[in-house]
Amino acid sequence: MMEPRQEQASGTARIATMDLPSGPANDGEVPSRTPLMAAENEEQFRARWTAIQSAFVDEPSQAVKEADGLVADVMKRLAEGFAQERSRLEEQWARQEKVSTEDLRLLLQRYRSFFDRLLDVRAPVGA
């Protein structure tokens, strides 16, 4: 797993933005698909899902068990990512370092995107 790095900007410590989008805000709109994890992690999870779907024809019960394990792994990875970001912020606050409003805004966008996706139960099956 890639370890985020601390960056210095004008003498103020900033949180690492490994999975955060960069660039200017778009009139306060939150992108609907803010990345929640590094692209390489997402690709690995998608490859596992494709293999599970392919195996369903021959071993449906096993495919469902593997799908359950995959979803648990994805949820674990997401929880770890958010916990690491929160931990970095708490460390900075404990050292009395200022965290930029922009970094906090980007982090809040990620939480909002994740929250919205969790509550979106209208997605079609098989999508």
24 in a structural domain: yes
Confidence category of residue 51, pLDDT binned at 50, 70, 90: very high
Report the mean per-residue pLDDT for the chain: 74
- pLDDT of 89 > 50? The answer is yes
Least confident piece of the model among 6-10, 64-68, 86-90, 108-112: 6-10
Buried b (16+ CB within 10 A) or exposed e, 67-88: beebeeebeebeeebbebbeeb
Q: How many domains does the chain have?
A: 1
Q: Which domain holds residue 106?
A: 7-119
107 in a structural domain: yes
**pTM for this model (two decimals):** 0.59
15 in a structural domain: yes
127 in a structural domain: no
124 in a structural domain: no
Q: Report d(CA 25, CA 16) in Å as an integer.
A: 18
